[in-house]
Structure 1
C-alpha cells in the first residue's frame, strides 16, 4: 500500500523527523504509528452511558432471539461433514 498526501505541513514534519533521526521517512512514520497504537491500547476504554449500554444489550437480545428462532435440523437430516483439501477448501 502506498501513501500519498498533499498536506505540505505533514510532509515537512516527516522529512524533518527523518533528517533529525537519520532514518527513512517510512521508518519514521512506522515508529510513530507503533507508538500511537501502543498508547491507544494502553488507554482504558471510554465509559459508556446507560442509554447506549441498554441499546446494545437490547440489540444483542434481538440477535440471540433471531438465532434461537432458526429451525433446528435433526441429526439424521444434517448434511455429511465436509472434507477439506490442503488449501483449507472443501473438496
Structure 2
C-alpha cells in the first residue's frame, strides 16, 4: 500500500503536519509513505527515517513550461489516484 501526504506550506505548517505523517506510518508500518512537499518540507522531512519518499512538488511545477502541461499532470495524477483507490 502507498500513502501519499501533501504538505507544501511554510515551515510551521510542515512541523504541525509531521504528527499526522508519523501517525499514518505508525498505523500502516508496511506502507510506503510518500510526502509531496516543497523546499521547506524537503529540508525538514529528510531528517525522519519513517518517510520513505520525498517529492518536491515546487521543483516539478517549475520544470513545466506551460499551463497545459500542469493541467495534463493534474489529470494524470487524478487518474492514477482513482485507479489505485478502486483496488482497495
TM-score band by shorter chain is: under 0.3
**Per residue, is there more strand in 1 or in 2?**
2
Q: Which has the larger radius of gyration?
A: 1
After TM superposition, the score normalised by the length of structure 1 is 0.26
After TM superposition, the score normalised by the length of structure 2 is 0.27
Larger RCO (alpha carbons 8 Å, 6+ apart): 2
